[in-house]
Structure 1
Amino acid sequence: MGTKRTCMALDLVDEPNLISEYAHYHSLEGMWPEIPAGIREAGVLDMQIYRIGSRLFMIVDFDENTDLTEAFQKMGQMPRQTEWATLMAEFQKTLPEARAGEHWAAMEPVFLLNDHMQ
């Protein structure tokens, strides 16, 4: 089984109290248990979100046979996932570079070490 990876970015509303609250929601204590379970159920193998300042960077690993667009659509049909997305939207700002309909902007790879090691 092969794995694919995609990376995405967006910004948080640049207010320290909102950034702190967003971080709490993503902590072990603040995360709703249905969220990681739903992400996995939709076909995502791993998801990581990193922050610097108000910029978020998300890494998504998924099975090569999984269509990531379909996986995100599946998540969007799960009751708690929809509620979570609505809540998180209060903290987030889509990047100007995002395509129409994109919330998290897909990033293009610039350098992949393994491609240079063959």
Structure 2
Amino acid sequence: MRYCLALDLKDDPALIAEYERYHEKIWPEIDESIRSAGITNMEIYRIGPRLFMIMETDDTFSFDRKAAADAANPKVQEWEALMWRYQQALPMAKPGEKWLLMDRIFAL
């Protein structure tokens, strides 16, 4: 399955550069948490402060299971707190929401 998600960064060139540096080599525990959730491929693109994530998953993936596993993983919680220094919710996000699932409106 393919999922596309969006999130914004704080519009500060220095913070954006730091965020990108963290993603040049993510922590091994974060890599493991992504892969063990059934995510087989993940890419993040940026234009200005807007981020776009493409996530490919296998049949074992579930957003609810991933959220529960992340909540129970102190290293993931540490990473998420660190990343939130650079990120900001999209204007339409509900309190506590970060990455928002996008709707596909066209396919060729």
Is the structural similarity TM-score above 0.5? yes
Residue 99 (structure 1) shift = 4.2
- Specify the alignment match of 1:20 in structure 2: 17
Q: Which amino acid is 1:112 matched to?
A: A
4+ residue segments displaced more than 3 Å:
none
SS of residue in 2 equivalent to 1:9: strand
Q: How far apart are the structure 1 equivalents of 2:58 and 2:94? A: 24
Q: Is the 8 A contact 1:39 1:75 kept in 2?
A: no
- Specify the alignment match of 1:106 in structure 2: 101
SS of residue in 1 equivalent to 2:15: helix
Q: Does 1:80 align with 2:75?
A: yes
Q: How far apart are the structure 1 equivalents of 2:54 and 2:60? A: 18
Q: Is the 8 A contact 2:8 2:51 kept in 1?
A: yes
How many percent of aligned residue pairs carry the same amino acid? Answer: 45
Q: Is the 8 A contact 1:47 1:60 kept in 2?
A: yes
Q: How far apart are the structure 2 equivalents of 1:108 and 1:12? A: 21
- Compare 46-55 and 71-80 and name the one that shifted more: 71-80
Which digits, 9 at most, give the CA deviation of each residue in 1:14-40, with x for residues without a partner? 000000000000003xx2121111110
Instruction: Please identify the structure whose Cα radius of gyration is greater.
Output: 1
- Specify the alignment match of 1:46 in structure 2: 41
Match of 1:9 among 6, 9, 21: 6
Structure 1: gaps spanning 5 or more residues: 114-118
- How many residues of Structure 1 are paired with residues of Structure 2 in the alignment? 108
